[in-house]
Amino acid sequence: MRDTAAIEQLTPRDAFERVREGARLIDVREDDERAAGVAQGADGVPLARLLERPQAFAPLPHAPLLLICASGARSLRAAQALAASGYARVASVAGGTQRWLAEGLPMASPVDADFLERYSRHLLLPQVGFAGQRRLEASRVLLVGAGGLGSPVAFYLAAAGVGTLRISDDDHVDRSNLQRQILHTEARVGVAKVASAQRALNALNPRVRIEAVPDRVTSANIDALLADADVAIDGSDSFAVRYLLSDACVKHAKPLVYGAVQRFDGQVSVFDAGRRRGAAPCYRCLFPQPPRPEDAPNCAEAGVLGVLPGIVGLLQANEAIKLLLGIGDSLDGRLLSFDALATTFRETRLRADPDCPVCAPGREFPGYIDYGAFCRA
């Protein structure tokens, strides 16, 4: 173990500046000690837990790492132990949190160890990091459908740490669903899909709030379902619902992640016309009129390869996470088509229709229509 003198001991103000420059700060006090607050920018991991599994909380041994406790004694011992384990740039904050407070440096609410361990791989990504993960945790997503597309979407959004996932579906689990709807199990045949989904997702990540809505999306409830959502995801198998959801997203200026599957073919896109009038298309710009029912049979009539909704749903989840974090290039203005038999992707550029009855620039929202009649016409 390195000698105490060999461990760099920083004043709280110097430590604060290093945190602002990107250094990691870990508060090694116990959970109850951190309940009143931690130094701003600090992650909370009890000393014993940190030393037992340092790689889980500080996976980069050559990155700058600062440790703080109440007075500086425990953090110094922890720094010595980590230095002996190969952490080359570890330092201790002299005087600890007591001196930090005395110098008037900012405090924050504590970050729990579960957050740090659960999302550790996200925290390593500069495009996500601590701020991005907190942004995911504060986000709300409306997912329409808990079936083939909704299953992978829900699983990966919950795993990623989306704070609130509102799932709307009025169907019940059927044995024929299990070939592709991986949220559900044999034991839950006959159970409402949203209740089955809630059980599966809570088991995966209890930090995520699942709002199970056992209702079909209609003109009467869409405004309430969508009002506080940051992103909407279309996992439905109904053209009437797709047109309604698209129109509502234009009305409320919400981005919509679209997905559809049939037999061996899938599609994914993002429609953001509500926020980008005239520059981005809506679903109606792509499909001004619904297809005839005989030209677009549903999965129960035409069949679908079981893995196909998984592939398309994962792409939808990816688009949603990018939108929530504000990173990357979304599929806004692009339609991605997937052929499962050939294992090929094809991209089609989409343009906003300047005469679209819903999203044309300067056009007031025309109101909801009888979408069932529209799709049967």
Under 8 Å between Cβ of 309 and 179:
no
Instruction: Report how far apart, in Å, the C-alpha atoms of 71 and of each of 37, 90, 195, 213, 372 are.
Output: 15, 17, 49, 50, 68
Identify the pLDDT of residue 1: 45
Tokens 């038999």 map to which residue? 341
Question: What parts of the chain have a pLDDT lower than 50?
Answer: 1-2
- Burial tier of 316 (Cβ tally within 10 Å: 0-12, 13-18, 19+): buried
Integer Cα distance of 258 and 315 in angstroms:
10
User: pLDDT tens-digit profile of 195-252?
Assistant: 999 999 999 999 999 999 999 999 999 999 998 999 999 999 999 999 999 999 999 9
Question: Hey, which bits of the chain come out as E strands?
Answer: 8-10, 24-27, 38-39, 42-44, 65-68, 90-93, 107-108, 140-144, 164-168, 209-213, 231-234, 256-262, 265-271, 334-339, 344-349
Question: Structural domains in the chain?
Answer: 4-117 (3.40.250.10), 132-376 (3.40.50.720)
Identify the pLDDT of residue 39: 95
Identify the pLDDT of residue 370: 95
Q: What is the DSSP letter of 304?
A: B
User: pLDDT tens-digit profile of 254-285?
Assistant: 999 999 999 999 999 999 999 999 999 999 99
